Amino acid sequence: MSRSAAAAKPGSYDSTSLKNFLAGFERRNPQEPEFQQAVREVAHDVFPYLAEHSEFTDKLVFERMTEPDRIIVFRVSWEDDAGNMRINRGYRVQFNNSIGPYKGGLRFHASVNLSIIKFLAFEQTFKNSLTTLPLGAAKGGADFNPHGKSDAEIARFCKAFMTELHRFIGPNVDVPAGDIGVGGREIGYLFGQYKRLTGEFASGTITGKGLEYGGSLVRTEATGFGTVYFAEHMLNHRGDSLKGLRCCVSGAGNVALHCALKLSEMGAKVLTLSDSSGFIHDPDGFDRTKIEELHEIKFGKRASVGAYVKKHPKASFHAGKRPWGVKCDAAFPCATQNEISLDEAKKLVANGCQLVSEGANMPSEEKAMQLFRKKILFGPAKAANAGGVAVSGLEMSQNTMRLNWTEAELDSRLKEIMQDIHNQCLEYGGGGRRIDYVRGANLAGFVRVGRAMLAHGV
Ligand code: GLU
Give per-residue pLDDT as tens, 195-251: 999 999 999 999 999 999 999 999 999 999 999 999 999 999 999 999 999 999 999
Number of alpha carbons in the 13 Å side-chain half-sphere of residue 301: 13
Look up residue 364 and give its DSSP letter: B
Domain identity same for 233 and 380: yes
- Does residue 433 belong to any structural domain of this protein? no
Average pLDDT rounded to a whole number, residues 336-363:
98
- Among candidate residues 143, 146, 226, 215, the one with its CA nearest the CA of residue 177: 215
Average confidence score pLDDT of the chain: 96
- Residue 271, pLDDT score: 98
**Whole-number Å distance between alpha carbons of 21 and 51:** 14
Q: Is 127 annotated as a binding residue?
A: yes
Domain identity same for 229 and 311: yes
CA 171 to ligand 1 center in whole angstroms: 16
Domain identity same for 258 and 153: no
**Whole-number Å distance between alpha carbons of 27 and 3:** 13
Domain identity same for 181 and 258: no
- Does residue 163 belong to any structural domain of this protein? yes
Q: Is 321 annotated as a binding residue?
A: no
**Whole-number Å distance between alpha carbons of 332 and 384:** 10
Of 3-17, 29-43, 135-149, which range is least confident?
3-17
User: Which of 384, 419, 439 is a domain's end point?
Assistant: 384
Domain identity same for 232 and 379: yes
- Does residue 391 belong to any structural domain of this protein? no
- Does residue 401 belong to any structural domain of this protein? no
User: What residue ranges line ligand 1, CB within 6 angstroms?
Assistant: 103-105, 127, 177, 179, 207, 361, 388-389, 392
Domain identity same for 272 and 345: yes
- The CATH number for 118's domain is 3.40.50.10860
Give the nearest ligand 1 atom to 178 CA.
Answer: 1
- Residue 3, pLDDT score: 52
Look up residue 368 and give its DSSP letter: H
Domain identity same for 227 and 337: yes
The count of other CB atoms within 10 Å of the CB of residue 368 is 25
Q: Which amino acid is at 92?
A: R
Q: Is 184 annotated as a binding residue?
A: no
Average pLDDT rounded to a whole number, residues 79-105:
98
pLDDT at residue 456 above 60?
yes
Q: Which of 107, 112, 179, 225 to probe ligand 1 with, by most ligand atoms within 8 A of CB?
A: 179
Q: Is 233 helix (H, G, I), strand (E, B) or coil?
A: helix
Report yes or no: 3 and 27 within 8 Å, Cβ to Cβ: no
* Domain count across the chain: 3
Q: Is 423 annotated as a binding residue?
A: no
- Does residue 406 belong to any structural domain of this protein? no
Domain identity same for 129 and 246: no
Per DSSP, the residues of 268-289 read: -EEEEEEETTEEEE-TT---HH
Domain identity same for 241 and 362: yes
- Does residue 115 belong to any structural domain of this protein? yes
- Residue 8, pLDDT score: 46
Of 48-62, 100-114, 387-401, which range is least confident?
48-62
User: Which of 332, 355, 384 is a domain's end point?
Assistant: 384
Q: Is 361 annotated as a binding residue?
A: no
Average pLDDT rounded to a whole number, residues 71-83:
98
Domain identity same for 78 and 23: no
**Whole-number Å distance between alpha carbons of 22 and 17:** 8
Q: Residue 147 sits in which domain range?
A: 70-200
CA 104 to ligand 1 center in whole angstroms: 5
Give the nearest ligand 1 atom to 135 CA.
Answer: 9
Q: Which of 135, 361, 389 to probe ligand 1 with, by most ligand atoms within 8 A of CB?
A: 389
- Residue 15, pLDDT score: 72
CA 283 to ligand 1 center in whole angstroms: 32
> Could you confirm whether 314 is annotated as catalytic?
no
Could you read off the pLDDT of 326-342 as tens digits, one per residue? 999 999 999 999 999 99
Catalytic residue among 9, 19, 59, 139: 139
pLDDT at residue 12 above 90?
no
Domain identity same for 332 and 378: yes
Atom 9, ligand 1: residue with shortest CA distance: 104
10 band by pLDDT with thresholds 50, 70 and 90? very low
Could you read off the pLDDT of 143-202 as tens digits, one per residue? 999 999 999 999 999 999 999 999 999 999 999 999 999 999 999 999 999 999 999 999
Report yes or no: 231 and 357 within 8 Å, Cβ to Cβ: yes
Atom 5, ligand 1: residue with shortest CA distance: 389
Percent of the chain with pLDDT strictly greater than 90: 93
- Does residue 394 belong to any structural domain of this protein? no
Domain identity same for 44 and 167: no
User: Which of 336, 364, 384 is a domain's end point?
Assistant: 384
Spell out where 264-413 has E strands. 269-275, 278-281, 316-319, 330-333, 355-357, 377-379
Could you read off the pLDDT of 360-386 as tens digits, one per residue? 999 999 999 999 999 999 999 999 999
Atom 10, ligand 1: residue with shortest CA distance: 389
pLDDT at residue 254 above 90?
yes
User: How much is the pTM?
Assistant: 0.96
What are the residues whose beta carbons fall under 8 Å from the beta carbon of 303, sequence distance 6 or more?
297
User: What are the beta bridge partners of residue 76?
Assistant: 88
CA 383 to ligand 1 center in whole angstroms: 12
- The CATH number for 344's domain is 3.40.50.720
- Does residue 206 belong to any structural domain of this protein? no
| CB burial readout 293-310, b (16+ within 10 A) else e | bbeebbbeeeebbbbbbe
CA 51 to ligand 1 center in whole angstroms: 32
